Amino acid sequence: MKRKRKAPPITHPVAAYRREGDTVLIEISLNQVAQLFNSFDPSPFHEKELDDEADRYIFTAAREIGADKPFKLVIHMPADAASTPEARAIEPAIRNHFLYRLQTARRDLRHELQRGRISLVIGLAFLAACMVGREFALALVPSAVQRILSEGLLIIGWVAMWGPLEVFLYGWWPIAGTCRILERLAELEVDLRPRHGHAPGAPGLGPAHGKG
């Protein structure tokens, strides 16, 4: 009888990131500053929107690490690119980008909770109407259909309550969790590091990645 192989231990996603002391490093490798930003955004440099790939990587990494743990963004780039005025504006630009996302997420959270409150009022009113209808059914409808009608009204009334319950039990907390991550990213520390060649372990961005 063959012995079953033991499954490899499951590691926490944070183990995939390098550390410096207690600080977890989110690392990116660039060849030029422009790779970090959306090339179609006409805004001033410090207000530019991040490239989708960069936004997704930084946010996902922060979520895996956790909002309660210390982390910073380390950007590896050629020495000549790291000394430009655009490079010095990277930190405020990234913070502005995630601050805007945070404001949008907070607005989404308010709208979700408002939708839940309105749905709750409507649901309670409908449930009350169904209960009143049920009492009339019990009193006035012949016994042959009384049970079916009364139970049907009761079920329909409680089904109508699922909308607000879904919001307050499940709908709001993913948005609140996103807000916690974005609050950290809106104050993200960015460390620019000149490099020669590609930094090991740091993903590259854009079509220029991998060129010398």
pLDDT digits (tens, 9 = 90+) for 49-82: 888 899 999 999 999 999 899 999 999 989 888 8
pLDDT at 142: 67
The torsion region of residue 210 among left (phi > 0), alpha (psi -120 to 50) and beta comes to left
Q: What confidence tens digit (pLDDT) does each residue in 82-121 have?
A: 888 888 889 999 999 999 999 999 999 999 999 999 999 9
Mean pLDDT to the nearest integer, 182-186: 96
Question: What amino acid is encoded at 91 in this protein?
Answer: E
Residue 204: pLDDT band by 50, 70, 90 thresholds? Answer: low
- End-to-end Cα, the chain, rounded Å: 54
pLDDT of residue 6: 55
pLDDT > 90 fraction of the chain, expressed in percent and rounded? 38
pTM of the model: 0.75
User: What pLDDT, on the 0 to 100 scale, is given for residue 184?
Assistant: 95
> Tell me, what's the pLDDT at 207?
40
CB 187 within 8 A of CB 128: no
Distance set, CA 139 to CA 77, 128, 149 (Å) = 80, 17, 12
Separation CA 49–CA 72 (nearest Å): 19
Q: What is the mean pLDDT of the chain?
A: 82
CB contact at 8 A, 2 and 171? no
> 25-35, pLDDT tens digit by residue?
999 988 888 88
DSSP structure string for 86-155: HHHTHHHHHHHHHHHHHHHHHHHHHHHHHHHHHHHHHHHHHHHHHHHHHHHHHHHS-HHHHHHHHHHHHH
Residue 150: pLDDT above 60? yes
